């Protein structure tokens, strides 16, 4: 799927989607339950926003048992990756984004990542951070 710049930037205009993407920039894959916990939002709200990101080709999902994990799409064009890297860097000292990371790190009983999805997520993240 080709990513349209207007659709991509429109996805970033929503706080829930932006915060989710920045968490995925820092650590992926993330389970829906982790994003719900970190952002302190309801499951229906998170699922709606993740579906919007998936439909735009920005993230990919993978169901593992009873959980769905999300990661940045490894097919994101370089310009989109650059935008996300710059936003992640620019928000590193922003209180809201710091709180999201702290909540995620403090989440009790975080789900284990199956080896195959963690490896794929790591490869995708390496692609995102390659030139960083």
Instruction: Tell me the per-residue pLDDT of 4-30, one tens digit each, with 9 for 90 and over.
Output: 899 999 999 999 999 999 999 999 899
Average pLDDT, the chain: 88
Q: Tell me: pLDDT of 124 over 60.
A: no
Q: Tell me: pLDDT of 34 over 80.
A: yes
- pTM for the full predicted model: 0.85
Burial of 73 (0-12, 13-18, 19+ CB in 10 A): buried
What mean pLDDT is predicted for residues 25-43?
Answer: 95
Residue 104: which pLDDT band, with cuts at 50, 70 and 90? very high
Is 5-129 in CATH node 1.10.10.10? yes
DSSP H or E stretch at residue 60 = strand 59-64
Q: Starting from the edge strand earliest in sequence, which strands make up the sheet with 30-31, in order?
A: 30-31, 67-72, 59-64
How confident is the model at residue 131, as a pLDDT? 39
């Amino acid at each position: 799927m080709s990513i349209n710049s207007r659709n991509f930037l429109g996805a970033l205009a929503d706080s829930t989607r932006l915060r989710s993407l920045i968490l995925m920039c820092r650590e992926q894959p993330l389970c829906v339950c982790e994003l719900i916990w970190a952002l302190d939002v309801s499951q229906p709200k998170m699922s709606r926003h993740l579906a919007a990101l998936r439909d735009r080709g920005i993230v990919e999902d993978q169901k593992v048992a009873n959980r769905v994990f999300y990661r940045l799409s490894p097919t994101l064009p370089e310009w989109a990756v650059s935008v996300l890297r710059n936003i992640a860097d620019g928000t590193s000292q922003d209180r809201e984004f710091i709180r999201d990371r702290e909540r995620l790190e403090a989440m009790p009983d975080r789900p284990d990542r199956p080896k195959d999805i963690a490896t794929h997520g790591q490869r995708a993240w390496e692609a995102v951070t390659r030139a960083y």
